[in-house]
Chain A
């Protein structure tokens, strides 16, 4: 193939600027070189340049695959949506380099907190997402709280000797249910809604979908058996039989 016809100068320059080492273009036929260009472009288009984790585009692809797996596999998957609390204030007060540093540190802490099989992504300005495959509802709160406290626990050092600041995140979480073919956009919007709920209810907290519990609370039992006499109709039923 004639490399000149493809006019690869621009992409070559872009990739070298991004620090990607390409195969020499002089190779006969150029196949190896072309493959390395394509691979590098794929990486580039799926990675967030600031933090190095998946961007939204790549994450959507991973989520779609996970939904297929969950539909077949009999395991729950948990999707966490995380948003940095009052991020705009950080940018406004300390400048964008400080904001960037906060994003990088939070990304690193998220990656350190979750399992290697979990996927961390930056899906918006100060919004992150974590996909935890095979995460039953009984573990979910612990997982979500761990990510939240990992951010809260240690102040983040800002560049240019601006000192360290406390940063927190709000977290919303939704499940993809085994044997059920969920819709991707719905799964994401459920996690988002719970994230907004966490924001509304004071930030620096976790709100998870509470749909999957088979536990019956004392309050429910009380009403069921008329202990509280809340619905008096059958107040003696549970005890008399």
Chain B
């Protein structure tokens, strides 16, 4: 285990120069929780959550995908599931947690919010407490919980992100997506004291797109969010927030076909370039997130 990876998993430390420097984030949940978010909507966040969960399940991990897009969930659409019981029924006490957790086509567990839960689209203390209780119950039962968050930087999204040990940001090479991704990173760095954010570039057109985008975002972040001086005068200054590129998913007709058929890409076209890429990203996430501190 190198020092770099250890740092990457250490998300509880605060930004030294951040306004939240000595604030303590409310993160009572222990365990591996990755929040998948994007800033801009429609960049493939739910597609990534579902297929990544399938790929990680294939690697032998016990995975739960939790629909944290409480107001406008569409994980059910992507997975073509029609559950009778959802998170809403758990929150209102109509059913037990176990009854609402169902098995998705990819073999992973999924807990759906149920579409159109307007009362959960705003973060009230009740919603927050319900969610905290839920997390403390489900997280210990899985190797990994993926939070599929909503688009934007609303209080609900920020709250869901604050519960996660890792943030996986999905962006496409489009300028609007990059701008929103940048804004999200900025807020997470300054408001939640995040020092490490993982970036996945979806619908990349060319090999190396993601790496270049990561470098570009990092350069702007260093300039506008800032850096902290190194340990000594000779040491290089360190970025306040560091992006870690987890990989690209190439633009692929097979993705569109699978989405239209409401099937997981990994099941629909396992050999497609995008499928292969998701498999590689899953391997990298398993290595750097799940196994990262097991041998520490």
Contacts and interface: CB of A to CB of B under 8 A. Distances in A.
Interface of A: 71-74, 174-175, 177-183, 186, 190, 209, 211-217, 219-221, 223-226, 231, 233-234, 237-239, 241
Given A74-B128, A211-B190, A223-B224, 15 more contacts: A74-B124, A74-B125, A174-B19, A175-B19, A178-B155, A180-B23, A180-B26, A180-B192, A182-B20, A186-B23, A224-B216, A225-B175, A225-B178, A237-B216, A241-B173
A72 B25 CA distance: 12
A73 B190 CA distance: 20
Contact of A211 (B18, B124, B179): B18
Given A179-B159, A233-B212, A224 B20 contact: no
B155 A224 contact: no
Contacts of A225: 175, 178
A224 B19 contact: no
Contact of A183 (B23, B123, B159, B216): B23
Contacts of A233: 212, 215-216, 219
B191 interface: yes
Contacts of A186: 21-23
A208 B150 CA distance: 30
B213 interface: yes
A216 B182 contact: yes
A221 B23 contact: no
Given A214-B187, A234-B212, A223 B23 contact: no
A73 to B, nearest CB: 7
Contacts of B19: 174-175, 177, 190, 209, 211-212
Interface in B201-232: 205, 209, 212-213, 215-217, 219-220, 223-224
B76 to A, nearest CB: 27
Contacts of B20: 177, 180, 182, 211
Nearest to A174: B19
B24 A179 contact: no
B161 to A, nearest CB: 11
A240 to B, nearest CB: 9
A224 B182 contact: yes
A100 to B, nearest CB: 36
Contacts of B159: 179
A179 B26 contact: yes
A224 B205 CA distance: 18
19 contacts: A72-B125, A74-B123, A177-B20, A178-B155, A180-B26, A183-B22, A183-B23, A186-B21, A211-B190, A212-B187, A212-B190, A214-B153, A220-B220, A223-B224, A224-B182, A226-B216, A233-B212, A233-B215, A233-B216
B159, B190, B192, B205 — which one has the most chain A CB atoms within 10 A of its CB? B190
Contacts of B25: 180
Contacts of B191: 177, 180, 211-212
B25 to A, nearest CB: 6
Interface residue SS majority, chain B: helix
B186 interface: yes
Interface of B: 18-26, 123-125, 128, 153, 155, 158-159, 162, 173-175, 178-179, 182-184, 186-187, 190-192, 205, 209, 212-213, 215-217, 219-220, 223-224
B213 A237 contact: yes
A231 B216 contact: yes
B24 to A, nearest CB: 5
Contacts of B158: 179
Contact of A181 (B23, B155, B209): B23
Given A212-B191, A223-B219, A182 B182 contact: no
A217 B183 CA distance: 10
B219 A216 contact: no
A183 B212 CA distance: 39
Given A231-B216, A237-B213, A223 B124 contact: no
A54 B213 CA distance: 53
A177, A179, A213 — which one has the most chain B CB atoms within 10 A of its CB? A179
A213, A216, A224 — which one has the most chain B CB atoms within 10 A of its CB? A224
Contact of A237 (B183, B212, B223, B224): B212
A221 B179 CA distance: 7
A175 B23 CA distance: 11
A191 to B, nearest CB: 11
A215 B183 contact: yes
B170 to A, nearest CB: 16
B267 to A, nearest CB: 29
Contacts of A224: 178-179, 182, 216-217, 220
